[in-house]
Structure 1
Amino acid sequence: MAPTGEYSITAEEANSFLDNVLQMKSTEQWIKANKVAFLEEFIQSMEHHIPFQTISGIAIPDGKRRVPSAADIKADIVSKLGGVCYQINIFCWMLLRALEFDAQLVPSDGLYLQDNHVGIVINGLTGQSSKHLLEVGSSYPSRRLIPLDFEDCSPEYSDSYMKYRFVRREEGTIIFQHEINTVSSLACKYPELIEGEWFSFLFYHTRQSVSVSHFDKRMTKTFTEVGDLNVLTSLRCTAYPNGRLVCIKDSKLMLEDEEHQVQCFYFRSRDEFLQAFQRYFPQFSESMIRAAMKNVQFKLR
């Protein structure tokens, strides 16, 4: 039976979201026939329709910001506004539990900040002791379901323009590593996190099952303190429609081409910035975008 409580949705709400928002049809039969195939398509559909973005948080005036409630999270995801890992992965966790998957929240650390990322592990999917990582709440997501039964290092995965792998550490910690070229700007800032051609991006603590409240302290800083993780200082909106990157980041538009190369374009005016949202992310109102531009003191390159 699906759980009840504030951080839950019903099976009917879950199936409505899959059908009407993600455009996934006949999911009940799909889940019964092949859970792994269903989850793989769910990941792709989430990254197609639900953006990782900081716009809505920045648009809120300073002093009125707060950690999104369960109701906020549901509204933001169902309306395709998306959010950062907190909103996206918590909603996915609620949806998966409503569909009777054994999904748990796990704490994750990135760039020396404890609990700054919300992770999801699914238990018992392909066997009683199996564990899989499901990650759709990052601007650099793993674009597939990741089995965690590898010994020291997972296979190398290539999705979109990204190449990545996972490495096992002690005490149930799995490290999400990207090829340096994927996260070159981050790698330059944190050279000590480089191992050969790989950059250690996130550390998932897969043996720890936690509640939403576990993240309260860290997320209060993230959603209310300007400068924390750049969530309130950098205008970012990222999605992968049809498996290709579309990203607006401050004064830059990034589009992935057919050869999986990322082409960068710089906005020449504020109107071009607004037009890019109208074209690629029309679910954002002009008033919200203008408020975010004002609050971050948007500047062209």
Structure 2
Amino acid sequence: MSMKCLNIISCLLIDVVCQCVTKMLSLEEAKKYMIDVFGILNVDELLSNRNKLEVITTINDAYREVEPYQNIIMLAEPQSKRRRPTWTEITANVKKRCGGMCFTHHMFLFEFYKALNFEVALVPAQVSNYWNHTVILFRNLVKPGDLYLIDEASAYPTFNPICLDFSEKSPIMYHSFLEYRYTKHNGSIYRMHRKGDQGYRTFDPKTSFYKDGWRKFSEFRIEDETKDASSLNDIYDNVFTNPNITPFHKSLRVIYFPGKKAKIICNKKVLLEVCDGELEVTEYESEDDLIKCINAILPMLGEELIRKALSHVALYK
């Protein structure tokens, strides 16, 4: 039997075991992450706060400081060996503050908030008309029956939990370089971008929703929510193996918001937020210089891994 088959079987066996467990993290384990990884020292005081919206915002702010969105770990593997990370790999990367793609961030946060006894669910979402994303819902957070969303892994800033109890449109939000809002449309909820939208360059009016200067970035249906994380495995198996449903098999990405200021790497370009949401762009003409830049921003990944990732996107050939 080939090593690839053994790896796949190992991954599936771990998933089967995980599906039999109600909570992947205990309360004490979740607290340990807060202290050791996220740098939150007043854990018991924070969790005793009756303002649960404030609790989540504080935790997410600390999480975002140390956990980047990046596809370097996936890109470092040859296309034929890429696969959905196991729970063991997810927690290892969070502990090392390596972050990852949507699956890593939201699977971890879903289990983390479940361990803290929040009422949470996952919802599959479409980006660019493909099922390749997920968001996290919180119920009964501020008052009975309310509904909030967090999205810490869209590669765009979402600095606060978003209340979804609006009739048609949420308030407009300005986070980092981006102006955005959520709207309800034909039973779905759309995330709409306007000023600062980085996706306009690939906007296709034939396949994308665009209205009054707003471009649809993603959409989901609340009715699709699930508390069974394994029900999303097929979606993410596709994300990690099919290069046609996400650009991240062919394009390097790092998105990081230390101090709520953007640090973005998009192939050869590095975009740094300087002030008032403005992005200063530097393009690196040398692979070695780009590697040094990435390593300075994300030293936890290591130069060898970064170099492997770049070898699979061939930016300088």
TM-score after normalising by structure 2? 0.88
**Alpha carbons 2:102, 2:134 under 8 Å: kept:** yes
Tell me the CA shift for residue 187 of structure 1.
Answer: 5.6
Structure 1 counterpart of 2:93, one-letter code: D
Identify the range of structure 1 (139-148 vs 41-50) with the bigger mean alpha-carbon deviation: 41-50
Q: After the TM superposition, list the runs of 4 or more consecutive aligned residues in structure 1 that deviate by more than 3 angstroms.
A: 184-187, 189-192
The residue matched to 2:246 in structure 1 has which SS?
coil
Structure 2: distance between partners of 1:83 and 1:190? 30
**What is the match of residue 190 of structure 2?**
175
The question of 1:138 aligning with 2:154 is answered yes
**What is the match of residue 204 of structure 2?**
189
Structure 2: distance between partners of 1:179 and 1:77? 31
**Alpha carbons 2:150, 2:162 under 8 Å: kept:** yes
Structure 2: distance between partners of 1:8 and 1:260? 38
Q: Structure 2 vs 1, CA of residues 83 and 8 (structure 1 numbering), >3 Å: closer, same or farther?
A: same
Which one of 284, 296, 299 corresponds to residue 301 of structure 2?
284
Tell me the CA shift for residue 93 of structure 1.
Answer: 0.5
**What is the match of residue 79 of structure 2?**
62
Q: Structure 2 vs 1, CA of residues 228 and 110 (structure 1 numbering), >3 Å: closer, same or farther?
A: closer
**Alpha carbons 1:56, 1:292 under 8 Å: kept:** yes
Which one of 132, 149, 153 corresponds to residue 165 of structure 2?
149
Tell me the CA shift for residue 190 of structure 1.
Answer: 4.4
The question of 1:252 aligning with 2:269 is answered yes
**What is the match of residue 201 of structure 1?**
217
Q: What value does the CA root-mean-square deviation take over the aligned residues?
A: 1.9
Structure 2 unaligned residues grouped into runs of 5+? 1-18
Percent of residue pairs identical: 23
Deviations 1:173-200 (A, max 9, x none): 2211111542343563346421111111
Which one of 10, 18, 24 corresponds to residue 34 of structure 2?
18
The question of 1:233 aligning with 2:250 is answered yes
Tell me the CA shift for residue 168 of structure 1.
Answer: 1.4
**Alpha carbons 2:173, 2:179 under 8 Å: kept:** yes
**What is the match of residue 95 of structure 2?**
78
Deviations 1:245-284 (A, max 9, x none): 0011110000000232001100021121111122211111
Tell me the CA shift for residue 13 of structure 1.
Answer: 1.6
Q: Structure 2 vs 1, CA of residues 268 and 7 (structure 1 numbering), >3 Å: closer, same or farther?
A: farther
Structure 1 counterpart of 2:197, one-letter code: T
Q: Structure 2 vs 1, CA of residues 85 and 16 (structure 1 numbering), >3 Å: closer, same or farther?
A: same
**Equivalent residue pairs, number:** 296
Structure 2: distance between partners of 1:282 and 1:252? 18
Structure 2 counterpart of 1:157, one-letter code: M
Structure 1: distance between partners of 2:253 and 2:87? 23
Structure 1 unaligned residues grouped into runs of 5+? none
Structure 1: distance between partners of 2:87 and 2:23? 6
Structure 1 counterpart of 2:296, one-letter code: R
